[in-house]
Amino acid sequence: MADRAWDRESAVFRVAGVLNVIGGWILTALIAFFSAGIIAVIIYFWGIYAVVILMFVAAFLIFKSHGLHLRRVSNKPRFLFSILSRKSILSSHVLEECQAYISNTINDSIKIYSKTFEGLNKSDAKKLKSAKKEVKQLNAHIVELWKSAHHYIKRIEGENVDMANFYIKVLDHLQDFHKSTRLIVKSTGDYIDNLHKPFTKMQLAELDLIQQKLFTLLNATVKAINNVDKTQIINIQDEANEVLQTIEVLLGNQMKRIRNRETGKENSSLFFILVLETKDLVKEIVSLTQVFKRYRIIVD
């Protein structure tokens, strides 16, 4: 446009927005027309009784709509409501908020991971359905973090871009961490929903071992990052290496089972996903601590 109000970045969204609005008007008019006709017919035949019933239906729909709105608002991260209200964000606040994001994401992931393996162990579809719901909620929070990143970075105090880089890298690693968690839950849920054979006792014992080691690592990571303790952060690498070594052993064990025809294709596929995605979780944790090691000096 001549006034440059529409550039290449926004033109597509503006056109789509206009079409959506026009389409909404037409759809609303059609719905209103047919609804009014139906209500008029109901009132014509049933009179005052129909009016009373329709009033109760309207009150019920308003109540349900209000409840749905409250649930949507409660599911959004609370910090999002404060970002736009702040004119500036101190570097120390960036660190504190990143620590909170990491702690919440890891703690939620531990619950999801535990629930997923419990569902696999007991072939409990309800437990896995609950894990899927929690993964969806966690994913929504991470998406909102990214959506707010632009406004957040603009409000970081000073001209130094290092804390902005720190913030984005933390979000990047949290997103990759969550992708692995999400794939673990989805793959396990699909396996149980399709009624495949349960894992053997040996496989479940191996997965339980790796779960315990992973949880120990994750809890140590939360503690180290919250304390911003360089010694603890350095020790995370050693603990991570121990988990990675265990993973390599488990992969070798599964290879032997395949060679000995002890497991089927679907069993092996899920086992590899669980173990290799856990390996990716560990790598993301190490990368996350490396970000803290690099940027900690900035906020001293």
CATH label of the domain that carries residue 127: 1.20.58.220
d(CA 189, CA 222): 28
Does residue 71 sit in the same domain as residue 110?
Answer: no
- Whether 85 maps to a domain, the answer reads no
Does residue 184 sit in the same domain as residue 48?
Answer: no
CB of 187 closer than 8 Å to CB of 72:
no
Does residue 210 sit in the same domain as residue 63?
Answer: no
- Whether 153 maps to a domain, the answer reads yes
- Whether 254 maps to a domain, the answer reads yes
Does residue 34 sit in the same domain as residue 142?
Answer: no
- Whether 277 maps to a domain, the answer reads yes
CB of 177 closer than 8 Å to CB of 105:
yes
- Whether 240 maps to a domain, the answer reads yes
Does residue 49 sit in the same domain as residue 118?
Answer: no
Strand partners, 156: 89
Domain count, the chain: 2
Instruction: Give the per-residue pLDDT at 185.
Output: 97
Does residue 277 sit in the same domain as residue 136?
Answer: yes
Instruction: Give the per-residue pLDDT at 4.
Output: 54
Does residue 243 sit in the same domain as residue 114?
Answer: yes
User: What pTM was estimated for this model as a whole?
Assistant: 0.75
Instruction: Give the per-residue pLDDT at 297.
Output: 44
- Whether 207 maps to a domain, the answer reads yes
Strand partners, 89: 156
Does residue 70 sit in the same domain as residue 99?
Answer: no
Among 40, 75, 110, the domain-final residue is 75
Name every residue whose Cβ is closer than 8 Å to that of residue 54 and which is 6 or more positions away in sequence: 39, 42, 43
Q: Report the SS3 class of residue 89.
A: strand
Does residue 44 sit in the same domain as residue 95?
Answer: no
Give the structural domain span for 229: 91-299
Strand partners, 206: none
pLDDT averaged over 10-residue windows placed end to end, the chain, 300 residues: 52 74 91 89 86 86 76 56 66 86 94 96 94 93 89 81 90 95 96 92 96 96 84 86 96 96 93 97 93 62
The string over 263-282, giving b where at least 16 C-beta atoms fall within 10 Å of a residue's C-beta and e elsewhere, is: beeebbebbbbbbebbbbbb
Does residue 34 sit in the same domain as residue 102?
Answer: no
- Whether 81 maps to a domain, the answer reads no
Does residue 122 sit in the same domain as residue 263?
Answer: yes
Does residue 157 sit in the same domain as residue 286?
Answer: yes
Residue 94, burial from CB neighbour count under 10 angstroms (0-12, 13-18, 19+): buried
- Whether 191 maps to a domain, the answer reads yes
Q: Which amino acid is at 120?
A: L
